[in-house]
Amino acid sequence: MTVRTVLTWPDRRLLQSAEPVEAVDDPIKTLVADMFETMYDQSGCGLAATQLGIPLQVVVLDCGTDAEPEPLALINARIVERDGEVVWNEGCLSLPGITADVERAQTVVVEALDAEGREIRVRAGGLAAVCIQHELDHLDGRLYVDRLGKLERLAALSDYDKARAAAAEASRPAREAAPEGGR
Ligand SMILES: [Zn+2]
């Protein structure tokens, strides 16, 4: 298993729409394993293949705890039922440093293939429901900030730019020390 690089905004590959997976073969199983490895490495609770620059309909999530993980891979997933409304403070590995409140369906039912290619039907609520909707949005080339109002979206992306600039500044090598007795 390999930890892969997660693309961050404004990488345009995040805007790609993902294609259905034709067969859950060995390369897809390797991709799923790498996606879990990458998601856990980044302490995320979900990851979409488009975030790795791979436009295929594959997402992984784990909304369990360290003691009781609940890994779930969803391939060619479709939401077939939505119920209720919930506002959730969301973050994203592709937009590190910011969060925002997003309105989502409270429960969803999703039909998909699992990592072995078996048909599954999953009913999810709470964090898992939010996570599924967030990750499936990625497969349509949509980020959670695109669900905000126009001004809120601009404010969130402006905060993101500031967070990125601060992170870049912090990781810059220290300037050379002034020569001895120079000042
Ligand atoms: Zn995300």
Q: DSSP characters for 20-34?
A: PPS---HHHHHHHHH
Q: Distance between CA 61 and CA 162 in Å, rounded?
A: 29
| pLDDT recorded at residue 134 | 98
- Please tell me the distance between residue 136's alpha carbon and the centre of ligand 1 in angstroms: 9
Domain ranges of the chain: 12-170
pLDDT at 182 > cutoff 60: no
Indicate the SS3 state at residue 130.
helix
Mean pLDDT of 88-112: 97
Report the CATH fold assignment for 12-170: Peptide Deformylase (3.90.45)
- Please tell me the distance between residue 1's alpha carbon and the centre of ligand 1 in angstroms: 21
pLDDT at 120 > cutoff 60: yes
pLDDT at 148 > cutoff 90: yes
Q: Where in the sequence numbering do the catalytic residues fall? A: 135
- Please tell me the distance between residue 61's alpha carbon and the centre of ligand 1 in angstroms: 11
Mean pLDDT of 170-178: 69
- Please tell me the distance between residue 171's alpha carbon and the centre of ligand 1 in angstroms: 24
Indicate the SS3 state at residue 7.
coil
Q: Which residues hold their Cβ within 5 A of ligand 1, which is an ion?
A: 92
Read off the pLDDT band of 172 (50, 70, 90). confident
| pLDDT recorded at residue 104 | 98
pTM given for the model: 0.91
pLDDT at 73 > cutoff 80: yes
| pLDDT recorded at residue 179 | 57
Distances in Å between the Cα of 125 and the Cα atoms of 103, 108, 170 are 14, 7, 38
Whole-number CA gyration radius for the chain: 19
Q: Distance between CA 47 and CA 31 in Å, rounded?
A: 12
H or E stretch covering 158:
helix 150-171
